[in-house]
Amino acid sequence: MSRPRWAELEWARDSAFRFFPLLRHDELGLVLHPFDLATNKVLALVGRLEVRDWIDVIESHERLQPLGYLAWAACGKDPAFSPGSILDLAARSARYPDDEVRQLAFAGAPPDAKDLAVRWHAALAAAREIVQILPPAETGKCVLDPSGALHRGSASDLPESLRLGRVLFHQGRIRGAIPTLKR
């Protein structure tokens, strides 16, 4: 006899403003696109103090898109913030000891808070460089590569990518939109 599978769901209020349409998940139904979830987590860092948000943003920076691009786009969801103000506020609020990190449930061993802090400060430094380079007229937009994938270039690569047109900007909207690539 198999045991029932349970999932812990954290209900949250979702804004209808998204960069991408909702995705269908086999078990959960409609879910946010990972990019929209990541930008929501970036905004959460400036409005609440939760260790899980901090860890999620570090992971999103490393696995999805660098923090500078996430903060850049997050301004489209909340125009009260600039990318720089998001980074400044997040930098001040994100400090967590090992005890707090260990209170969360992880599939394996919990990460080390010191290691997380090192990764966090590196992400912040890189993010500040990226937001200084991106064109101000495109603030609040998702940054894509020519194929329509999330742009993952470093700050050192960004000026050349911008000059060569290898960076596209995707505007979010109510209910999200599939990017239309124009060359």
The reply to whether 6 falls in a domain is: no
d(C-alpha 4, C-alpha 121), whole Å:
41
The reply to whether 113 falls in a domain is: yes
The reply to whether 65 falls in a domain is: yes
Supply the Cα-derived Rg of the chain in whole angstroms: 17
* Statement: the pTM of the whole predicted model exceeds 0.85: yes
First to last CA, the chain: 57
CB atoms within 10 A of CB 68: 27
- AA letter at 151: H
The reply to whether 10 falls in a domain is: no
The reply to whether 137 falls in a domain is: yes
The reply to whether 22 falls in a domain is: yes
The reply to whether 11 falls in a domain is: no
Note down pLDDT in tens along the chain; length 183 residues. 555 555 545 544 556 899 999 999 998 888 999 999 999 999 999 988 788 899 999 999 999 999 999 999 999 999 999 999 999 999 987 778 788 888 888 888 888 888 999 999 999 999 999 999 999 999 999 999 999 999 999 999 999 999 999 999 999 998 888 887 765
Count of domains observed in the chain: 1
Q: How many helices (H) and strands (E) does the chain have?
A: 7, 6
Question: Domain range for residue 100?
Answer: 17-174
The reply to whether 180 falls in a domain is: no
